Amino acid sequence: MGDKDKLISDEESVQDKAAIAEKVAKLAVKAYRPWYFEAGFLLFWATLFLTIVVPLFYRLPTPLTVHDTNQDVFIAERAHKTLAGLANIGTKVVGSQGNEVYTVQFLLAELELIKQQVLLEYYDIEIDVQIASGSYIHWTMINMYQGVQNIVIKLSPKGSTSETYLLVNSHFDSKPTSPSVGDAGHMVTTMLEVLRVISTSKQSFQHPIVFLLNGAEENPLQASHAFITQHKWAPFCKAVINLDAAGSGGREILFQSGPYNPWLLKYYKESAKHPFGTTMGEEIFQTGLLPSDTDFGIFNTYGNLVGFDLAQCINGFVYHTKYDELDVIPQGALQNTGDNILNLVRALSNAPELYDTEAFTSGHAIFFDFLGLFFISYSSSNGEYLNYGVAGAAIILIFVSLWRIAAVSNVSQEDVRQWAILVLVIQVIAFVLGLALPIVVAYALDLYGKSLSYYSSPLLVVGLFVCPSLVGLSLPSTIYYTLYRNSKVSFAHYIQLALHGHAVVLAVLGVALTYYGLRSAYVITWTLIFYVIPLAINLLTTLHDRGYAWTTILKLFQIFPFLYNSYLFYTFVVVLTPMMGRYGMATNPDLIVSALTALGTILSMGFLILLVNMFRRPSIVFVILLAVSALSIFAATSTDIGFPYRPKTNVERINYLQVRRVFYEYDGTVSWEDSGYAFNFQDRRGPTPLEESGMPLKGLVSLESDCTERMMCGVPLYDQHWVKSRLNTMWLPREQPIETPAMPTLKLLSKTVQADGITVRFVFEVTGPDHTSLFIQPFEDVTISNWSFLQSYLQTTSTYPPPFHIYFSYGIDSSPLNFFIDIMKPNGDFNVQLFELGVSGHFIGSVGDAESVKFAESFSAYSAIVQWPASYQRYIF
């Protein structure tokens, strides 16, 4: 090439570069979309949520009636009629006439009607009433029961010799004051209707089905323990469908499966007409974060059963209150549960895997439904491959995208990588802010005594937690793009770098959670999939390089993760918000709700909110978000909108005892006797709402100091929940002595020195109400070497240190409690103080004396009080 040709070539090269630079500059000038599209962009996603997610979340099937021609199906009308009869009985506390007599009689009468309709040429039906006594360690106490009742029904194919049974369980007892229509009358009547349908259908099955109507679940979990450890049919049960409730009147959620038997989910997927469940809910429940427990754990621990744990979860505001009544349960909810359970029972009763469930043990499973429309499940091992594979694909495609940006912009790969790293750091900051800002709001609200402000006004969650999260997600990149103009690449490509940065954060987080063993990482993976797919499409079609053309494909695919993630985390907000009203005073529940809301916002809108930078004035979006947040904070802190409680619908739960205390010394004299009300406040606000309402609470004090000086704070703590939160117990003294219906009697039957000379045996008899607790504290120089209670509890003092708690209750059998305690003392001197024994008696169902009734009537209409007379007698032996 001559000098002239070279000069011409160099001149053309310069012209090409100038043309590219001019093109990039024009793209930068045209980068912004009109500002007035911003509000419409946010409104579109809000509309999508309100018109699709919310209606599908609350959707229920049309209830069937007895007039429907096909009677081989679940009939909600019939189940509702049975439920009405069960509701009319009222409360069903263990030991009460309502539970032990009226409910048992009612259920047996219903079963007799079903038995009369059974196709006896196809099936055999047996009905057994189990009365059992036993004990086991539950949390930090010995859970001891006497004469609790179970109604057990076995339905078998005619002539069946199968020794493999399917168990279906729910409970008919209730918490005090509650008619227990939702928890768990809904499930009990569902079981009865399922039994009726199956026993009158010619559609047979392989494995006999055992229906367990247990009479002591709330006590807690006693009747399920009695069945699985003592009943004649229990050894043959291999799988369980456990039905419970933490709410009333909606769809039931599958929140535990297995464990370690992923094949089960195949049957749920194929048979559940209205699927609803998530692995994430399972993992949250199994952390112990929620103040609930179910029989499912008992069946697995003591019987090695696998299966499903399902529960009503919507409208938990009425759970365990007097408002858990028939009118809050639409027949469509019964139809939803009935359709699912009937199909699931039929499927599992024909499952060949039940013959040897241990042979199919192969790890956990990942499962979730999509808007209730269909169900997805796969093994956790396949989930790990998917999580790692999607994260890897995202990183690879992002590198390809960076290479393309450099190629079409005529800049070096090194420059693009440096910009990408810088934007990645910004997105890490954005992710942290998106998670942290809602938590900061939650902390600030609690600091000023305004926690639970969203309790009766759930829309406040949007302004208090969602909007701050969106601000945190988008503000760092917007500030960066405003302050730094990159004229070397198009603005559309520069925005892509922000989305790539967010994808890398998700990929790294997904890999970390997967490595840690959390199956909930599936949520991140499926969010990332719908970024990887449009990115691949845009790269293959070159839409990636054509201004904002790539955003069309991206937004179309982002509809799916937006719908799912907003649905999933809306589920958590709906389910957890009522639970926060019984989370106790020790923890700020807003931190939990805000963190979950923030995570849901990040996963639902993380990619989308970054697109606000396309618009000419992205600051308008921030003004809107900040205005909504400011308005919500004002409403939460300065108006009645933020007051948590409403009569009947969003009540303040208040548990307290009318206590009479007597402290006996070693010589039998009374050193102290008084009366008062012991409060175990159920939510973070504690006594503040009562004090502000004008309740007569003068003299209310904390018992925390008493807890360091007296065994178990010197009050009749009711159960493990009271024991766990005892440092937050508050005491309101009363001048007039509490009049209890009776006082438990403790008799020392004998005191005998044993042959070894260093052990003495005390034999006692306790006669008292159907709920009694014993607290035993040996003094420092003695040891309890033996007793008539569980040895395993006594032998693991490192796990269960004294004072020892024996929770004792009885159902149909009110015989006194007889027990012995062996005290060992090295010097053999037994004529001194050896141990303290506290006897706590609870007269559940009694309204108390006149002054106590008057006090109860002084609570606000929004208060749901649970209270009864109780006594505490402390002895020294």
Q: Which domains does the chain have, with CATH numbers?
A: 16-55+382-642 (no CATH), 76-371 (3.40.630.10), 654-877 (no CATH)
How many whole angstroms separate alpha carbon 735 and alpha carbon 581? 31
End-to-end CA distance of the chain: 114
Mean pLDDT of the chain: 93
Confidence band, pLDDT 50/70/90 cuts, at residue 27: very low
What pLDDT sits at residue 711? 96
Residue 510 pLDDT more than 60? yes
pLDDT at res. 32: 56
Per-residue pLDDT of 63-91, as tens digits, reads: 999 988 777 999 999 999 999 999 999 99
| pLDDT digits 0-9 by tens, 331-382 | 999 999 999 999 999 999 999 999 998 888 888 999 999 999 999 999 999 9
Query: pLDDT value at position 486?
Result: 78
pLDDT of amino acid 460: 97
Q: What is the pLDDT of residues 748-760, one digit of tens each?
A: 999 999 999 999 9
Residues in the chain: 877
Which helix (DSSP H) or strand (DSSP E) does residue 664 occupy? strand 652-664
Average pLDDT for residues 575-593, to the nearest whole number?
A: 95
pLDDT in tens, 643-685: 999 999 999 999 999 999 999 999 999 999 999 999 999 999 9
Dist. CA 220–CA 159, nearest whole Å: 37
> Per-residue pLDDT for 746 more than 80?
yes
- DSSP conformational letter for 64: P
User: Distance from CA of residue 767 to its chain's centroid?
Assistant: 38
Q: What is the pLDDT of residue 371?
A: 98
Under the banding of pLDDT at 50, 70 and 90, the label for residue 293 is confident
> Using CA atoms, how far apart are residues 91 and 218, in angstroms rounded to an integer?
12
Cβ 810 vs Cβ 226: under 8 Å: no
The one-letter code for the residue type at 297 is G
Buried b (16+ CB within 10 A) or exposed e, 825-863: beeeebeeebbbbbbbbbbbbbebbebbeebbeebbebb
Residues facing residue 378 across a β-bridge: 366
- Distance, in Å, from the CA atom of 87 to the CA atom of 250, rounded to the nearest integer, reads 18
Which ranges in 607-654 belong to alpha helices (H)? 619-638
Contacts of 83 by beta carbon, 8 Å cutoff, 6+ apart? 181, 185, 186, 189, 326, 329, 334
pTM of this structure: 0.93
Q: What does the pLDDT read at residue 736?
A: 95
CB 746 within 8 A of CB 764: yes
Contact 420, 477 (CB under 8 A): no
pLDDT (tens digit per residue) in 590-623 = 999 999 999 999 999 999 999 998 887 888 889 9
pLDDT per residue over 530-574, tens digit each?
A: 999 999 999 999 999 999 999 999 999 999 999 999 999 999 999
DSSP characters over 773-812 = EEEEEE-TT-EEEEESS-HHHHT-TTTSPSSEEEEEEESS
Q: pLDDT confidence of 254, banded at 50, 70, 90?
A: very high
Q: What is the pLDDT of residue 34?
A: 66
CA distances (Å), origin 155, targets 93, 207, 214, 230, 423: 28, 9, 17, 19, 65
Q: What percent of the chain has pLDDT over 70?
A: 96
Tens of pLDDT, residues 426-472: 999 999 999 999 999 999 999 999 999 999 999 999 999 999 999 99
Residue 148: CA atoms inside 13 Å, Cβ hemisphere, count?
A: 34
Take residue 782 and report the two structure tokens written for it.
């003695």
Q: Which of 834, 842, 836 is nearest to 807 (CA)?
A: 842
Mean pLDDT of 400-419: 94
In the prediction, which pLDDT does 6 show?
Answer: 46
Burial (Cβ within 10 Å: 0-12, 13-18, ≥19) of residue 168: buried
Q: Which of 332, 270, 258 lies closest to 60, judged by CA? A: 332
Inter-residue contact 811 to 99 (CB < 8 Å): yes
Q: Where do we find the tokens 């199906």? A: 73
SS3 string, 821-864, reads EEEECCCCCCCCCCEEEEEEEECCCCCCCHHHHHHHHCCCCCEE
Q: How far apart are CA 713 and CA 661, in angstroms?
A: 12
pLDDT band (50, 70, 90) for residue 33 = low
Residue 21: pLDDT band (50, 70, 90) is very low
Q: Which pLDDT score is estimated for 804?
A: 97
Sheet holding 745-753, edge to edge: 745-753, 759-767, 817-824, 783-787
Count the Cβ atoms, other than its own, within 10 Å of residue 43.
11
